[in-house]
Amino acid sequence: MPKRVGLYPGTFDPMTNGHMDIIKRAVKLVDHLVIGVAINEAKKPLFTLEERVEMLRHEAGPLTKAEGVDLSVEPFDTLLMYFAEKVGATTIIRGLRAVSDFEYEFQMVGMNMKLAPEIENVFLMADAQYQAINSRLVKEICALGGDISHFTTPYIAQHLAAKFPRKPTVTKTPKVVALAQEKSKP
């Protein structure tokens, strides 16, 4: 039987538990999973390409190994379908988060089917608890000193923490503090 090669493309800046959940599902469908890391300089990624690739290898490695699936994590900066043909993908895997993703993905798939009709496009949904997670918000929460442990693995959280010097969590605004001090005066 020919090998089923799935290509899961994205920016992964950084990978989240949403991506992890999609990878866990994808490994049940393919013999070889290629994670394509879009260089995406226009999006000004927080993590370098090398960091994004390393984090994906570290976290996705055990998931693919457990299912006996081969894993490659490769950067790309060409048209997705050219990259898909280059790696011999039989399927493109995308995650769907919300209805808002659908419109864009629908158009993309329509175009991709014209460019490479032999490659199938598959959409996977993450478990409900992970559907709302997105890399941009995780970065924002971390930058503001919030708890991101529900959104990423401890390994990714460590990398994020290293990007943002620790800030004390602000629970009260200066105005609230001043009012409280005023009240407590004898």
12 binds ligand ADP (CB under 6 A): yes
- Asked if 19 is an active-site residue, the reply is yes
Sketch the per residue contact string, 51 through 90, with ligand ADP: x for CB under 6 A, - otherwise.
Answer: ----------------------------------------
CB of 90 to ligand ADP, least distance (A): 17
97 is catalytic: yes
Q: Is 136 a catalytic residue?
A: no
Site stretch for ligand ADP (CB under 6 A), options 44-52, 70-78, 114-122, 129-137: 129-137
**Per rule CB under 6 A, is residue 95 in the interface with ligand ADP?**
yes
Q: Which listed residue (24, 86, 94, 97) is catalytic? A: 97
**Sole binder of ligand ADP in the list 64, 91, 135, 152 (CB under 6 A):** 135
Task: Dig out the tokens for 114 from the structure.
Answer: 């014209």
* # residues near ligand ADP by CB under 6 A: 17
Quick one: angle between helices 154-163 and 49-66, nearest 10? 170
Q: Whole-angstrom Cα distance, residue 148 to residue 151?
A: 5
Among 51, 54, 67, 101, binds ligand ADP (CB under 6 A): 101
Q: Encode 38-66 in three state secondary structure.
A: ECCHHHCCCCCHHHHHHHHHHHHHHHHHH
43 is catalytic: yes
Show Cβ contacts of residue 74 under 8 Å, excluding neighbours closer than 6 positions. 34, 35, 36, 37, 53, 87
Q: Please choose, from the candidates 136, 95, 135, the residue with its C-alpha nearest in 3D space to the C-alpha of residue 7.
A: 95
Residue from 4, 58, 86, 94 in contact with ligand ADP (CB under 6 A): 94
DSSP string, 65-117: HHTT-EEEEEEE-S-HHHHHHHTT-SEEEEEE-SHHHHHHHHHHHHHHHHH-T
Give the binding site for ligand ADP (CB under 6 A). Answer: 10-12, 16, 18-19, 22, 94-95, 97, 101, 126, 130-131, 133-135
Residues labelled catalytic: 19, 43, 97, 135
